[in-house]
Amino acid sequence: MEKRPSTSKGSKKRLRRFLLRYYPPGIILEYEHKGKRRTKPIDLLDLSEHTDVEVLINVIIRQEPLISERRRPILRSLIEKLSSKLETKSTGNYSLAKVLQAHILPLTNCAFNKSGSQFITGSYDRTCKLWDTETGKEVLKLDGHKNVVYAIAFNNPFGDRIATGSFDKLCNIWDAKTGKLLHTLQGHSKEIVCVSFDTQGDVLATGSTDNTAILWDAENGKTLHVLEAHSAELVSLHFNTDGNLLVTGSFDNTAVIWDVTTGQRMHVLEGHSGEISSTQFNFAGDLVVSGSIDSTVKIWDVPTGKCVNTLEGHEDEILDVCFNSTGSLIASGSADGTTRIFSTMTGQQKHCLAGHDGEISKVSFNPQGTLLITASSDKTVRVWEVETGKCLNVLTGHTDEIFSCAFNYDGSTIITGSKDNTCRIWTRDEEKN
């Protein structure tokens, strides 16, 4: 039997609360250590209706020093909740719930908080706005940038901080509850085009057309590391699940994997013959996917930095790529008007999703991995069934190009952002008995 790890008095960790992660299944422990808030995941990727819950609880309590025997009832309740959620089937039928005249100038981006109760929009009007998803009401207007607010992010899973990156070369960190400006981060010499918090909310990464990324301490706003390796502007950055690695994608045809703690470059991912458009880690953090204007998608092994597969089939630039929540599938959206779904393990194409009349700028799986949404310049978003490749729903109504679409945490709501200055909220139709 494994010995239970011990903690010394000086490094005492205090469990604050449990957070559920439905997709992929897991329980997040939020705890305090030396006065700082931390999170630690317990991954339950193999959970199913056949799992012996009591055996699983015994294993967790034995192996996890933060969880004492007296927490057994709440642990049982959480695991049963996760199991029941896995059995819930999602329909592909969504209907328009709200149209938000969000900004006076075109939107640049939109993003949900973890629960999906709120979302943010950035705009050419130099502001970021916080919205209530259910009511469609504006909650906060974050005003202070002197140019386009191009990149926006919540510090999920907490959702109490918002970062806004602007063409004014600055990144602001705001209090999501009060709208108070907490920090203005100065360091880039050109436009900021991407921002992301790590999963602990401790580190913020910004990427710029000045060819660099910068890692910042999100608590005090100080520079941690300036990441210099690219010879052209950055267009993409993404933390792994553990928050100890960052991948950046650039117009110099390469992606780079960085050690977040040291700021050191670990691997340069070389092989594309055109500019990188999108990069992402899988959930496990052992693979990176990259899309390029060379019309290919590449899968990279993180420990070695080697390309393990090149996914072909598109006839024009790849504009977006993403993994599903478990990392078993990859979707790619292209300027050729199609989306393709590939098996991560084999690299085989499972489906070519055709139907849009324009380029596809954004692709996103629902949390369950059963649906995929695609946003297009043809002014529509399509909802596809992943298993069959069938189009289940076409979301119409926008009057200009759609560049952003996202599911909320349980997949019941979709937000779409368009160059028509509006943001639309779509909700899943109730299942008919």
User: What span, in angstroms and rounded, lies between the C-alpha atoms of 293 and 231?
Assistant: 17
Q: Residue holding tokens 């119409």? A: 396
Cα–Cα nearest to 92, from 366, 406, 424, 404: 366
Amino acid symbol at 144: G
- Residue 354, both tokens: 């055709």
353 CB-contact burial (10 Å; exposed 0-12 / middle 13-18 / buried 19+): buried
Q: Where are the alpha helices (DSSP H) in 8-93?
A: 53-63, 72-86
Question: Could you give the 3-state DSSP secondary structure of residue 74?
Answer: helix
Check if the beta carbon of residue 300 is closer than 8 Å to that of residue 307: yes
**Distance between start and end Cα atoms, the chain:** 48
Check if the beta carbon of residue 308 is closer than 8 Å to that of residue 315: no
Report the 3 state secondary structure along 94-149.
Answer: EEEEEEECCCCCCEEEEEECCCCCEEEEEECCCEEEEEECCCCCEEEEEECCCCCE
Cα–Cα nearest to 315, from 332, 297, 333, 295: 295
User: What span, in angstroms and rounded, lies between the C-alpha atoms of 258 and 267?
Assistant: 7
Q: Average pLDDT of each block of 10 consecutive residues along the chain (433 residues)?
A: 41 85 87 87 82 92 92 92 73 90 90 92 96 94 97 93 98 97 98 95 97 97 97 97 96 98 97 97 96 98 98 96 94 98 96 97 93 97 96 96 91 93 90 37
User: What span, in angstroms and rounded, lies between the C-alpha atoms of 328 and 342?
Assistant: 9
- Residue 239, both tokens: 């933390």
Question: Could you give the 3-state DSSP secondary structure of residue 77?
Answer: helix
User: What span, in angstroms and rounded, lies between the C-alpha atoms of 236 and 229?
Assistant: 14
Q: Give the DSSP H or E segment for 207.
A: strand 203-208
Cα–Cα nearest to 193, from 148, 241, 146, 224: 148
CA angle 139, 407, 295 (to 5 degrees): 125
Cα–Cα nearest to 144, from 127, 161, 167, 122: 127
Spatial CB neighbours of 325, under 8 Å, sequence gap ≥ 6: 23, 24, 283, 365, 367, 368, 369
User: What span, in angstroms and rounded, lies between the C-alpha atoms of 293 and 241?
Assistant: 27
Q: Residue holding tokens 């926006």? A: 152
Spatial CB neighbours of 97, under 8 Å, sequence gap ≥ 6: 136, 413, 425, 426, 427
Q: How high is the pLDDT of residue 89?
A: 62
